[in-house]
Amino acid sequence: MTEPTRIRAQLSGDKVTVRVLMTHEMESGQRKDAAGKTVAAWFIQEVMVTHNGKRVLTAQFGPAVSKNPFLQFVLKSGKVGDRIGISWVDSRGERRSDEGVVAASA
C-alpha cells in the first residue's frame, strides 16, 4: 500500500510555487541486506504533474533520486483553488495519484 503524496502549492503574485513530497523507498539496487544479498532496485520511474487536469510537467526518475522524492517547481500562472495533481508509476508498476489545491500565500 502506498502512502499519500504531500502537495503544497502557494500563490505568490501570479506564480504558484509547488512543493511535492512523494513517499517511496527509492531502493537503489546497490544496497546489500544483512545477509549480504543485493536488494533489488525499486523506485519511482515516472511522475506526472497536472494543473487543473492539464499536464504541465513530467519527470523520469532513476534510482539515484533520493528516498521520499522531493520536487519543487513554479507554475507561471495560477489562482487560489486551482487543482494540482501528482501521479507516479514505480518500477514494479505500482501507481499513485494525489491532488492538492493552490492556497494563498501565507
Min dist CB 33 to other proteins, Å, is: 11
Q: What whole-number distance in Å separates Cα of residue 70 and Cα of residue 78?
A: 21
CB 39 within 8 A of CB 29: yes
Residues 64-94: b if buried by 16+ CB within 10 A, e if exposed = ebeeebebeeebeebeeebebbbebebbeee
- Of 12-41, which residues contact other proteins (CB under 8 A)? 15, 26, 28, 30-32
Q: Residue from 1, 34, 64, 106 that binds other proteins (CB under 8 A)?
A: 64
Q: Whose Cβ is closer to other proteins: residue 69's or residue 100's?
A: 69
Q: Whose Cβ is closer to other proteins: residue 1's or residue 11's?
A: 11
Chain Cα centroid distance, residue 3: 12
Q: What whole-number distance in Å separates Cα of residue 32 and Cα of residue 34?
A: 7
103 binds other proteins (CB under 8 A): no
63 binds other proteins (CB under 8 A): yes
Q: How many residues bind other proteins (CB under 8 A)?
A: 34
The contact set with other proteins (CB under 8 A) reads 15, 26, 28, 30-32, 45-46, 48-49, 51, 54-67, 69-77
